């Protein structure tokens, strides 16, 4: 077989392998790097096809023509390689229209210079035919632009290989094998081209790079099939790590060894009351409260509140050292852990412990004391007292169970219900329970939805207002206010006000042996509202009574079951219009 036939056969084999690999890569779109790898393989195939045309041409003009046409494939390869490497390794943020346009300037000029080669000597100084190994070979003397495009090609090839090198030592076998195959596929044509440029090629006038594409095609084909290139890609790794850092619940700030802020996530920026752009590069002492009190490594041991947090949430602060491969400290990660929920849980457990240990014990002791009296000379009065105390214990136990149930439900997805239904059911039950109290409820549209767990809160608010109302003509009014995001339920009564010490305990959020609430009702209201994502306030009514405002998020409306809608309509018809309602100090009929 003649050298020409052998080169033609090898080149056509290269085209077949490259086309197969390009087809497999094209099918993987839109996987990261699929389109760029397809373009790279297409460029190699283009170069190889017209290389065959060149070696088959018998005249100088023919060989020059096909040599110039090859440049269209040649210039695509380095750009496609760099884009593929960036997308494959997760650095795709550098792949933009602007960057692609900038990368294409030198290749576009090269194609133009190749197409107009007859009119200048920018790309080649001279072209001639020489005989090597018995057949004519095109010998071209490089011009200045030839070295520009050669250097540009190797520069992009190097830049594309750098992010791949880190995966050669990856713990994941698939990524390690993929990276090695890709680097082999890139180094093979590089090495053959270097031999040609340095005069080490077996045929000095013939660039063997298109023949080396056979090795590249096999390597890329193996990576696509054997090692699942584009099917198992490391591209999410870098983005995922950044995403985890940005979206993590913990507030995190990264400082260098000189205590300057070098990174922070979104939640940390919000809690510290700064924008990331403002914080980066600034001393940590100007960003983080009491930074000088932080240990070199470990927990601070005290709770901090952050300047950007309007709720004054307590945070546990921890410093974690960052070390290099030699064990030297190069920085620290300062994390702020929200312990508000933990402290609130401690409060709840302390209160429940007090109730179960103190209140119920006192009630039980009273029962035993009156039972002893009943044993001596029992009367009907003592028996009634025993009954009332027993009912008190039962009621307290029921509220404790309700609280525990509410805590359990707080871990479940929030279920919504119409505010109108919750209030109507609660007011209807209260009217039955307290017939001597006039209960008035402002009408509420059925498209206002809140957490279904608030029914228990509303019942306890209204029950507390009705049960302890000692007015001769007791009244309780329920008013609602709402907008697109918030719902406020305001319960007003004309009975005695809630004692100051009761309100102070609730506002402080904790109890002491000497200062504690008289029961569980107000705690149930407070905690139930917090579980629903809201807050409750207690105020005095003028001239007498209390005003309790429950403010909670408004939830998206959802379809209410048809049978429940019909049942609601029947209940509304049975309940009838609300009784008189106070407006601006006057009692009017709604």
Q: What is the pLDDT of residues 308-354, one digit of tens each?
A: 666 677 888 888 888 876 777 888 888 888 777 666 766 766 676 56
Task: Name the 3-class secondary structure at 29.
Answer: coil
Q: What is the mean pLDDT of residues 88-98?
A: 81
Q: Which residue has the higher pLDDT, 169 or 231?
A: 169
Q: What is the mean pLDDT of residues 53-58?
A: 83
Q: Residue 489 above 90 pLDDT?
A: yes
Measure the CA–CA gap between 171 and 275, rounded to whole angstroms. Answer: 36
Give pLDDT, residue 553. 92
Sheet bearing 261-264, strands edge to edge? 261-264, 251-256, 329-338, 315-323, 298-304
Q: Which residue has the higher pLDDT, 242 or 25?
A: 25
Q: What is the mean pLDDT of residues 361-389?
A: 64
Q: In percent, how much of the chain has pLDDT > 90? A: 7
Give pLDDT, residue 313. 75
Measure the CA–CA gap between 230 and 225, rounded to whole angstroms. Answer: 10
Chain-wide mean pLDDT for the chain? 75
Give pLDDT, residue 411. 52
Q: Which residue has the higher pLDDT, 486 or 6?
A: 486
Give pLDDT, residue 291. 82
The answer to whether the beta carbons of residues 36 and 87 sit under 8 Å apart is yes
CATH architecture of 413-588: 2-Layer Sandwich (3.30)
Give pLDDT, residue 486. 92
Q: Residue 171 above 70 pLDDT?
A: no
Task: From 46, 45, 80, select the one nearest 160 (Cα to Cα).
Answer: 80
Give pLDDT, residue 215. 67
Topology at the third CATH level for domain 248-338: Beta-Lactamase (3.30.450)
Measure the CA–CA gap between 420 and 15, rounded to whole angstroms. Answer: 73
Q: Which residue has the higher pLDDT, 24 or 307?
A: 24
Residues with Cβ within 8 Å of residue 73, at least 6 apart in sequence: 42, 43, 44, 45, 46, 47, 50
Among 301-305, 434-438, 441-445, 558-562, whose mean pLDDT is lowest? 558-562
Q: Residue 91 above 70 pLDDT?
A: yes
Give pLDDT, residue 433. 87
Which superfamily, per CATH, for 3-237? Answer: Rhodopsin 7-helix transmembrane proteins (1.20.1070.10)
Q: Tell me the CA distances in angstroms from 583 to 81, 440, 587, one per residue in order.
A: 76, 12, 6
- What residues does 138 pair with on adjacent strands? 129
The size of the chain, in residues, is 590
Give pLDDT, residue 50. 87
Q: What is the mean pLDDT of residues 60-89?
A: 87
Q: Which residue has the higher pLDDT, 133 or 443?
A: 443
Among 129-138, 276-285, 430-439, whose mean pLDDT is lowest? 129-138
Q: What is the pTM of this model?
A: 0.48
The answer to whether the beta carbons of residues 408 and 444 sit under 8 Å apart is no
Q: Which residue has the higher pLDDT, 256 or 223?
A: 256
Among 69-73, 512-516, 564-568, whose mean pLDDT is lowest? 512-516
Give pLDDT, residue 111. 92
Give pLDDT, residue 314. 80
Q: Residue 481 above 80 pLDDT?
A: yes
Measure the CA–CA gap between 504 and 512, rounded to whole angstroms. Answer: 12
Q: What is the mean pLDDT of residues 121-132?
A: 83
Q: Which residue has the higher pLDDT, 579 or 149?
A: 149
Confidence of residue 507 (pLDDT cuts 50, 70, 90): low
Give alpha helix (H) positions in 299-379. Answer: 340-354, 360-377
Measure the CA–CA gap between 565 and 246, rounded to whole angstroms. Answer: 44
Confidence of residue 285 (pLDDT cuts 50, 70, 90): confident
Q: Residue 582 above 50 pLDDT?
A: no
Q: What is the mean pLDDT of residues 456-471?
A: 84
Q: What is the mean pLDDT of residues 535-550?
A: 87
Confidence of residue 567 (pLDDT cuts 50, 70, 90): very low
Sheet bearing 535-540, strands edge to edge? 438-441, 475-482, 486-493, 546-553, 535-540
Give pLDDT, residue 399. 63
Among 76-80, 331-335, 487-491, 516-520, whose mean pLDDT is lowest? 516-520
Residues with Cβ within 8 Å of residue 559, at least 6 apart in sequence: none
Give pLDDT, residue 549. 92
Give pLDDT, residue 112. 93
Q: Residue 472 above 60 pLDDT?
A: yes
Q: Residue 551 above 90 pLDDT?
A: yes
Q: Residue 503 above 60 pLDDT?
A: no
Among 395-409, 429-443, 475-489, whose mean pLDDT is lowest? 395-409
Q: Which residue has the higher pLDDT, 381 or 119?
A: 119
């Amino acid at each position: 077989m003649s050298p020409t036939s052998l080169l033609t056969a090898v080149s056509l084999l290269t085209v077949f392998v490259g086309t197969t690999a390009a087809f497999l890569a094209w099918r993987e779109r839109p996987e990261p790097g699929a389109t760029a790898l397809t373009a790279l393989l297409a460029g190699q195939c283009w170069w190889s096809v017209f290389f065959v045309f060149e070696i088959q041409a018998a005249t100088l003009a023919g060989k020059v023509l096909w040599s110039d046409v090859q440049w269209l494939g040649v210039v695509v390869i380095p750009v496609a390689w760099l884009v593929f490497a960036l997308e494959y390794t997760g650095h795709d943020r550098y792949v933009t229209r602007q960057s692609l346009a900038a990368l294409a300037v030198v290749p576009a000029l090269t194609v133009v210079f190749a197409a107009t080669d007859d009119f200048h000597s920018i790309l080649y100084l001279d072209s001639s035919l020489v005989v090597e190994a018995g057949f004519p070979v095109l010998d071209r003397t490089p011009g200045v632009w030839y070295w520009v495009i050669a250097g540009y090609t190797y520069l992009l090839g190097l830049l594309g290989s750098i992010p791949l090198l880190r995966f050669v030592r990856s713990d994941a076998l698939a990524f390690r094998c993929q990276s090695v195959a890709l680097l082999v596929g890139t180094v093979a044509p590089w090495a053959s081209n270097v031999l040609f440029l340095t005069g080490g090629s077996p045929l000095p006038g013939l660039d063997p790079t298109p023949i080396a594409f056979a090795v590249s095609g096999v390597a890329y084909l193996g990576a696509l099939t054997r090692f699942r290139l584009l099917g198992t890609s490391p591209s999410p790794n870098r983005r995922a790590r950044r995403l985890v850092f940005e979206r993590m619940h913990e507030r995190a700030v990264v400082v260098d060894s000189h205590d300057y802020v070098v990174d922070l996530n979104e939640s940390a920026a919000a809690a510290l009351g700064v924008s990331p752009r403002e914080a980066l590069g600034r001393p940590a002492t100007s960003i983080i409260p009491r930074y000088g009190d932080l240990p070199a490594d470990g927990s601070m041991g005290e709770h901090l509140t952050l300047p950007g947090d309007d709720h004054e949430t307590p945070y546990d602060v921890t410093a974690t050292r960052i070390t290099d491969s030699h064990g030297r400290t190069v920085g620290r990660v300062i994390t702020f852990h929200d312990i508000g929920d933990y402290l609130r849980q401690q409060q709840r457990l302390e209160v429940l412990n007090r109730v179960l240990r103190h209140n119920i014990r006192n009630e039980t002791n009273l029962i035993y004391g009156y039972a002893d009296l009943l044993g001596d000379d029992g009367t009907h009065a003592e028996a009634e007292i025993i009954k009332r105390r027993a009912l008190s214990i039962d009621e307290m136990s029921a509220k404790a169970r309700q609280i525990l149930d509410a805590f359990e439900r707080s871990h479940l997805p929030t279920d919504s219900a119409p505010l109108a239904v919750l209030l109507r059911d609660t007011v209807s039950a209260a009217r039955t329970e307290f017939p001597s109290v006039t209960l008035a409820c402002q009408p509420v549209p059925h498209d206002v939805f809140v957490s279904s767990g608030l029914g228990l809160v509303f019942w306890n608010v209204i029950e507390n207002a009705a049960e302890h109302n000692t007015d001769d003509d007791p009244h309780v009014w329920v008013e609602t206010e709402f907008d697109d995001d918030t719902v406020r339920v305001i319960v007003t009564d004309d009975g005695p006000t809630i004692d100051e010490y009761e309100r102070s305990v609730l506002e402080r959020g904790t109890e002491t042996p000497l200062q504690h609430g008289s029961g569980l009702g107000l705690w149930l209201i407070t905690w139930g509202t917090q579980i629903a994502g809201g807050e409750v306030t207690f105020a005095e009514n003028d001239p007498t009574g209390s005003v309790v405002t429950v403010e909670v998020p408004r939830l998206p409306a959802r379809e209410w079951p048809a049978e429940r809608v019909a049942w609601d309509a029947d209940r509304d018809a049975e309940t009838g219009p609300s009784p008189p309602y106070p407006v601006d100090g006057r009692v009017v009929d709604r």
